[in-house]
Amino acid sequence: MSTESSSRLDLPLVGLAALFLGSGTLHLVRPQVFEPIVPPQLPDARKVVEVSGVAEIVCALGLLHPKTRRIAGLASAALLVGVFPANVQMSVDAGKRANRKRTAKSAGFFAGTLARLPLQWPMIKVALRAGKGTVA
């Protein structure tokens, strides 16, 4: 791994960090938005949401600094894999609501949650690339 390649930021990495910062902040400011998608097997949904929000913010900040980028990249990939079931649950719940309400707004939200699922893969790839120290 060259120091030069691991010290430069690129747009995908900055974008991932920005997404994590935004989402992590939202987890802390409006945790009630995320509580319904916490798997029921986990205790204390509020605590799970808060911890995941802090994890997103820590990962974001780690991705932005060359000395912490590798570990933050690996942690970010793990976090994205870890929250994927909650994103699937959000889509399932949104689909049920859309079917029940049959409004354009509920159908649009459902479509958005579905469209978001395959976007996890490119984010995981960016995180893994950072974890290998090959950013730039």
Task: State pLDDT tens for residues 32-90.
Answer: 999 998 888 888 999 999 999 999 999 999 999 999 999 999 999 999 999 998 899 88
In a domain, residue 70? The reply is yes
Residue 91 CA to residue 132 CA, distance in Å, equals 31
In a domain, residue 43? The reply is yes
In a domain, residue 30? The reply is yes
- Report the residue count for the chain: 136
In a domain, residue 46? The reply is yes
Please count the structural domains in the chain. 1
Residue 73 CA to residue 136 CA, distance in Å, equals 14
**What pTM did the predictor assign?**
0.84
Q: Write down the mean pLDDT value for the chain.
A: 90
In a domain, residue 15? The reply is yes
Which residues 6+ apart lie within 8 Å of 21 measured at CB?
Answer: 56, 57, 60, 61
If 0-12 CB within 10 Å is exposed, 13-18 middle and 19+ buried, where does residue 99 land? exposed
Give the closest residue to 114 by CA, choosing from 93, 129, 130, 133: 93
In a domain, residue 59? The reply is yes
Residue ranges making up the domain that contains 47: 3-83+121-129
In a domain, residue 16? The reply is yes
